[in-house]
Amino acid sequence: MKYFYKLFFVALLLFIFSYQSFASEVNVYTSRHYDSDESIYEDFTGLTGIKVNIISGKGKALMERLRLEGKNSPADLFITSDAGNLWKIQKDGMFREILSEKIVKTVPDSARGPNNEWVGIAKRSRVIFYNPERVKDIEIMNITYEDLADPKWKGRLVVRSSGNIYNQSLVASLISNIGVERTEKWAKGIVKNFARKPQGNDRSQILAVANGEADIAIANTYYIGLMLSGEKGIDQKKAAEKVSLIFPGQTDDGTHINISGVGILKNAPNPSNAEKFIEYLLTDKVQKHIVDNTYEYPIKSHIMPSKIIAKFGTNFKTDETYASDFGKYNSEAVRLMDRAGWR
């Protein structure tokens, strides 16, 4: 009998140890590719004792991995850089409701998914970059997204391909605001105004404007922050200094706003730790770290953007379209862009 109790005691200790080890971690699948995020993970572990295990990859690849893993996925959290991708995971029934009042009260309605199954942790604006030596002030003043379809921009515009989720979400927001018919007419005008076949990332579009290959470009603001910081090299810094940007829609619906966001997986093995991690991402300290290192905008309105980004303006009018609409109209946006010849 004494031997039995010893075995029972040892088994109990092993169970407690394994449970504590299991409970002291959080598994994060993320498509954010910022070296500066590493210090966030390390700081969270130092504060809570919860180890952050990272699986990093492209958004599409991680979403496919989650689908293949199904109920056996070890993922607690999925972090990605566009609301459209978050919508797709939610549509597949893979997220659970975020119950933390601290999270829900911090993140505005427009940056949360249906049933609070995902939330934004940072914002990014899609704006118009232009070459001030080739574009007159009167041409660009009070410009809207719809104005980009004007024939006066023929052969002067560059933008990424229709396969880019940022562009899909911009088109989806237009569908939400002005309907399919007007948006399709706009997209056809955009295609006619291309200076070249869509190619490269957002920095490629900014570089094209700086190098005189085009006069205007559509891109996210944080790319100019990365370039001006010198992080991408002196050549890109010099190129970025040649361009200006303007926030479109100031006399209309406002500038398009997307998010970096996160959701907790339905079968998350560590849901409590996952909520703690999201709460941590929304603290003032981490919000400031994000904007100063990735040049995005904060979710919390009282946090100022980085000095590099703030110099372009902080009080611009933003489009209040719900980020969930970007996913809701994504399929329609893709079909529309295909019909318009936007490849």
| CA distance linking residue 38 with residue 80, whole number of Å | 16
pLDDT given at position 327: 96
8 falls in which pLDDT band (50, 70, 90)?
very low
The one-character DSSP state at 196 is: S
Please give the CATH topology (third level) of the domain spanning 2-122+259-302.
Answer: D-Maltodextrin-Binding Protein; domain 2 (3.40.190)
In the block, residue with structure tokens 């959290």:
77
Q: How far apart are CA 218 and CA 326, in angstroms?
A: 17
pLDDT digits (tens, 9 = 90+) for 247-303: 999 999 999 999 999 999 999 999 999 999 999 999 999 999 999 999 999 999 999
Q: Which 8-state DSSP code applies to residue 99?
A: -
**CA dist 316 → 196, 216, 249, 310 (Å):** 30, 20, 9, 11
User: What does pTM read for this prediction?
Assistant: 0.91
DSSP β-ladder status, 118-130 and 297-298: antiparallel
pLDDT attached to residue 221: 97
CATH superfamily for domain 124-256+316-339 = Periplasmic binding protein-like II (3.40.190.10)
263 beta partners? 78, 118
Residue 114's pLDDT band (boundaries 50, 70, 90)? Answer: very high
User: Percent of the chain scored above 70 by pLDDT?
Assistant: 93
For residue 7, pLDDT beyond 70: no
- What is the spatial distance between Cα 49 and Cα 117, in angstroms, rounded to a whole number? 26
**The pLDDT of residue 23:** 57
Residue identified by tokens 């933003």 is 318
Print burial letters for 293-310: b (CB count within 10 Å at least 16), e (below 16).
bbbbbbbbeebebbebbe
184 token code pair:
């399709």
Q: Which two tokens stand for residue 209?
A: 């404007």
CA dist 327 and 13 (Å) reads 47
Closest CA to 69 of 32, 48, 94: 94
pLDDT above 90: percentage of residues in the chain: 92
Q: Residues 6 or more apart from 227 whose CB is under 8 A from it?
A: 203, 206, 236, 237, 239, 240
Q: What is the pLDDT of residues 143-192, one digit of tens each?
A: 999 999 999 999 999 999 999 999 999 999 999 999 999 999 999 999 99
Residue 129 CA to residue 203 CA, distance in Å, equals 11
To the nearest whole number, what is the mean pLDDT of the chain?
93
- Specify the domain boundaries for CATH 3.40.190.10 within the chain: 2-122+259-302, 124-256+316-339
CB-CB contact of 218 with 209 (8 Å) = no
Please tell me the predicted confidence (pLDDT) of residue 13.
37
Taking the C-alpha atoms of residue 19 and residue 330, their distance in angstroms, rounded to an integer, is 41
CA distance 336 to 170: 12
Q: How far apart are CA 309 and CA 261, in angstroms?
A: 20
pLDDT 10s digits, 57-98: 999 999 999 999 999 999 999 999 999 999 999 999 999 999
